Amino acid sequence: MTLLNPRPLSDYQAMDAAHHWHPFTDTADLNRTGTRIIDRAEGVWIEELGGKRLLDGMAGLWCMNLGYGRDRIVDAVSRQMKELPYYNAFFQCAHPPVVEFAAALAEKAPAHMNRVFFTNSGSESNDTVFRLARVYWDSLGKPSKKVFIGRHNGYHGSTVAAASLGGMGGMHAQSGLPIEGVVHIDQPYWYGEGLATGMTPEEFGLERARQLEAKIDEIGEENVCAFIAEPIQGAGGVIIPPESYWPEIARICREREILLIADEVICGFGRTGKWWGSETYGIEPDLMPIAKGITGGYLPMGGVFISDRVAGPVMEKAGEFYHGYTWSGHPAACAAGLEVLKIMDEEQVVERAGAVLAPKLAETWAALADHPLVGEARTKGVLGALELAADKETGARFEGAGAGTLARDFCVSDAGLVMRAVGDTMIVSPPLSITEAEIEELGVRARKALDLTADALVRAGHKVA
């Protein structure tokens, strides 16, 4: 096999430090330590330049749902690139892959959603949602309905509208966000924010949902456009809402006549053990932004599923929707997506995620709950989180110890595992192609990293239960 990247690691690190500005990175700090260069991958394993293998517990960035090394996807893309590398879907045009893919996606979408608008990322999908939801209310003669309600610590992307809809305080502080017309309510994060209240998870879920009702009343229903949320918050720390949360949110949106937008960028395409997170929670959103797993991560693509309820008035009354991207429905991305759907059907990926992987991950995680550092081990579908806590009863953290960062670093340096830290919450979202044996291996590696973290915390003078 030809070596695609023949330079030594130090060259890549020097070039990277000199010329590459990384996303979500303290670039000066990174340049002091040196970038890790990943140069190949197969299945659920990634390999660093030099040969070190790591189990990819994050499926890249929550997107490599079918794992790496799927030649069928590459071949489908290659065939399409030779036949028609590009044409657009503007100005009365389309091409076979975009039409085929839209139809194939509509088959998989919830029954009340029959149309998809293509974008190139989750962020773009949420910018599309931001504009389309407002156009919907305009088309119904209710132009005052403009305000979006999102959630603190929600994540909807990095563009201006998407970052505004999200509730990441650090992002907002850096660039004067959110933009006008976006407000936020609290998240249904029971372990982080509910435990100390003495409420049960179910009571807490209702309290957090009812903040939506209170916020709508405060702003005036006639001014509120939509509520947007991830079925399960991903980037915020795999925050699995109490079962009481979503039914109450759905009731409020219905009664108060505001659109419900379920951001399925992470939860979609089987992550929660069903096709859509909305399905897992029994809700019927009006709009669903999607991305990531749509191409199994092989090419950039995103989209928005549009319910018949929203599509009807917009098509009849608004006329042209002045919105679109050069690469909306790129032929190569559509070819990748079509092949991904074929593989998902053939391998029964979603069914297996729900029936085999979800219980296996739940069992593996439950075993880790005994570890002295773990305050809570939670999973839903093929998503998992471990809360690192100094006190298992109260959930008190290791103050100032950077426990999450320590654990993440031990994962990479000693345990050969990619597991992310969001503060002191360790999270995983492995490829849906993972085997049961590999989930066990993930558990073994996570425990090793936790043990090393516990030792380091003790050495630093912290008390570990």
For ligand PXG, which residue of 44, 98, 291, 343 counts as binding (CB under 6 A)? 291
Nearer to ligand PXG, 238 or 388 (CB): 238
Give the contacts of 126 (CB within 8 A, at least 6 positions apart).
156, 157, 159, 161, 162, 165, 228, 263, 289
- 155 lies in the binding site for ligand PXG (CB under 6 A): yes
Establish if 61 lies at the interface with ligand PXG (CB under 6 A): yes
CA–CA distance, 138 with 251 (Å, rounded to integer): 23
Interacting span for ligand PXG (CB under 6 A) from 78-86, 104-112, 122-130, 347-355: 122-130
CB of 333 to ligand PXG, least distance (A): 12
Distance CA 357, CA 72 (A): 23
Residue 328 DSSP symbol: T
The pair of structure tokens assigned to 448 is 């090793």
The least distance separating ligand PXG from the CB of residue 396, rounded to whole angstroms, comes to 25
Our finding on whether 56 is near ligand PXG (CB under 6 A) is no
Decide: 186 and 152 in contact? Cβ < 8 Å: yes
**CA 6 from centre of chain:** 34
Least separation in angstroms between CB 129 and ligand PXG:
10
Give residues 296-315 in contact with ligand PXG (rule: CB under 6 A).
302
Q: Does 271 bind ligand PXG (CB under 6 A)?
A: no
Q: Which is nearer to ligand PXG, 132 or 457 (CB)?
A: 132
- Pairwise CA distance, residues 55 & 438, whole Å: 8
CB of 12 to ligand PXG, least distance (A): 22
- Distance separating alpha carbons of residues 141 and 124, to the nearest angstrom: 26
Span near ligand PXG by CB under 6 A; candidates 204-212, 230-238, 339-347, 370-378: 230-238
CB of 59 to ligand PXG, least distance (A): 11
Of 123 and 211, the one with the shorter C-beta distance to ligand PXG is 123
Which residues neighbour 275 within 8 Å (Cβ) at sequence distance 6 or greater? Answer: 108, 268, 269, 350
Per rule CB under 6 A, is residue 265 in the interface with ligand PXG?
Answer: yes
CA distances from 95 to 10, 83, 92, 100, 330 (A): 45, 11, 11, 9, 9
Residue nearest to ligand PXG (CB): 122
CA distance 402 to 423: 8
Does 385 interact with ligand PXG (rule: CB under 6 A)? Answer: no
Q: How far is the CB of 123 from ligand PXG (least distance, A)?
A: 3
Q: Which stretch binds ligand PXG (CB under 6 A): 34-42, 119-127, 135-143, 244-252?
A: 119-127
Q: What SS3 state is found at 227? A: strand
In the complex, the smallest distance separating the C-beta of residue 380 from ligand PXG, rounded to whole angstroms, is 15
DSSP states along 397-423? --TTS-HHHHHHHHIIIII-EE-EEET
- Residue 135 has phi, psi (to 5 degrees) of -65, -35
Segment contacting ligand PXG (CB under 6 A): 151-159, 276-284, 318-326, 333-341?
A: 151-159
Nearer to ligand PXG by Cβ, of 129 and 343: the residue is 129
DSSP state for residue 196 in the 8-state scheme? G
Which range in 25-33, 90-98, 143-151, 154-162 contacts ligand PXG by CB under 6 A? 154-162
Per-residue tokens: 450: 């936790």
Q: How many residues bind ligand PXG (CB under 6 A)?
A: 17
Of 121, 128, 187, 453, the residue at the interface with ligand PXG (CB under 6 A) is 121
Q: Is 263 in the site for ligand PXG (CB under 6 A)?
A: yes
Give the residue, chosen from 57, 97, 122, 430, that forms a contact with ligand PXG under the rule CB under 6 A: 122
Gyration radius (Cα) of the chain, Å: 22
Per 3-state DSSP, the chain is made up of helix, strand and coil in percentages (nearest 5) of: 45, 15, 40
- Residue 43 or 289: which CB sits closer to ligand PXG? 289
Q: Which residues bind ligand PXG (CB under 6 A)?
A: 61, 121-123, 126, 155-158, 230, 234-235, 263, 265-266, 291, 302
